[in-house]
């Protein structure tokens, strides 16, 4: 998966050192990216809710994540819809 490779390239591993926390974080990021990709690749992509962890990953590392063009476009649509919905809800409060 291309996005998994991108994550591995951004982590510096010093020779002779192991960091299990970094390895676990890398695996978690790859799992979250795969989950996002699966949701956005479905025909009813707009009906699938992104989890807090997925949103946090996108917020903190989105510029370094490479997604297929269709998945990225659908993700933009879902995120924009969420922003509009939240804005409308704030106006009602």
| Whole-number pLDDT of residue 63 | 93
Check pLDDT > 70 for residue 32.
Answer: yes
Q: Which domain holds residue 20?
A: 2-92
Tell me if 29 sits within 8 A of 57, measured CB to CB. yes
Q: Binning pLDDT at 50, 70 and 90, where does residue 5 land? A: very low
DSSP character at residue 51: P
**Average pLDDT taken over every residue of the chain:** 87
Helix count (H) and strand count (E) of the chain?
A: 4, 0
The reported pTM is 0.76
Q: Looking at 12-58, which runs of residues are DSSP E strands? A: none
Reading the block at residue 89, the tokens are: 């809800």
**Banded pLDDT at 10 (limits 50, 70, 90):** low
Total domain count, the chain: 1
């Amino acid at each position: 998966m291309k996005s998994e490779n991108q994550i591995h390239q951004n982590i510096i591993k010093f020779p002779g050192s192991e960091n299990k926390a970094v390895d676990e974080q890398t695996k978690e990021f790859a799992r979250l990216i795969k989950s996002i990709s699966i949701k956005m690749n479905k025909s009813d992509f707009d009906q699938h809710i992104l989890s807090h962890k997925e949103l946090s990953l996108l917020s903190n590392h989105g510029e370094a994540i490479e997604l297929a063009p269709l998945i990225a476009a659908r993700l933009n649509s879902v995120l924009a819809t969420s922003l509009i919905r939240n804005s409308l809800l704030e106006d009602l409060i």
